[in-house]
Copies of this chain bind each other. A is one copy, B any other.
């Protein structure tokens, strides 16, 4: 299934896609839907019972941030084996983790407003994101896999100068409304990153990043299991799985985003994020 948070005249609504139409699911967004124990059967029933032509005609531009209110957003740093090895490093024994806030996220086609202090070294990071679908504490990898609701895309836009001000990356990663997420949540029965999903990032139409999720060191299930050793994960929580090589910081000379640039993150089966950078005063 593909689930989304659609924009309607009355606000937003959680919905399930059938062909090019969206069936509303009686919740304002996917954060609210996933908080309900019956989210999966609710969506399946709406899909099965919808009359032809029912629901709302959908275009990607009408998709809002699917998960506006995760309690936890946890991100993994270096995780693509090919990128780590090409940098001459050893594969890590443990995932490098940091946190974002729900406020850090923004929608799949939203403009990203960048205040002056964050304009000098803004960089892209295309990522696969995992959406938790069950409450998980101390989960094994098998339990974690069963507890994944599905997958979506994220662009972990990073303010590199602030990220490097101190040893802790957090302050370069937690600027409000700078991490596009979406466009949809594809449930785990329909897609498996361990089969290899090619994650692509393009800036102004030029391909900058390509990475297969097959080369991820810590799989989605491994990350979820690991994090659940120290903190409970709940339905709607979001885990970003790291970015492949090709970020602007790694170029010679480094290339950063400018006012008006468009960044696309896409993957077959997961859709695309397309966000324009807007420098503010």
Which residues in A have some Cβ–Cβ distance to B below 8 Å? 71-72, 77, 92-99, 101-104, 115, 117-118, 138, 159, 162, 165-171, 174-176, 229-232
Instruction: Say whether B101 contacts A72, CB under 8 Å.
Output: yes
Tell me the complex Cα distance, A117–B227, Å. Answer: 12
In this complex, the member of A115, A168, A229 whose beta carbon has the largest number of chain B beta carbons within 10 angstroms is A168
State whether A165 and B94 are in contact (beta carbons under 8 Å apart), knowing that A101-B99, A115-B138 are contacts in the complex. yes
Tell me the complex Cα distance, A91–B72, Å. Answer: 32
CB pairs A–B below 8 angstroms (29 shown): A71-B101, A71-B103, A72-B101, A94-B165, A94-B166, A95-B166, A96-B166, A96-B167, A97-B171, A98-B98, A98-B99, A99-B170, A101-B231, A103-B231, A103-B232, A104-B231, A115-B229, A117-B229, A117-B230, A118-B230, A167-B167, A168-B168, A171-B230, A174-B231, A175-B230, A175-B231, A176-B230, A176-B231, A176-B232
CB distance from A226 to the nearest CB of B (A): 8
Q: Name which residue of chain B comes closest to A234, CB basis.
A: B103
State whether A97 and B166 are in contact (beta carbons under 8 Å apart), knowing that A115-B138, A138-B115 are contacts in the complex. yes
State whether A230 and B101 are in contact (beta carbons under 8 Å apart), knowing that A115-B138, A138-B115, A168-B77 are contacts in the complex. no
Q: Name which residue of chain B comes closest to A174, CB basis.
A: B231
Residues of chain B within 8 A of A170, CB atoms compared: 97-99, 170
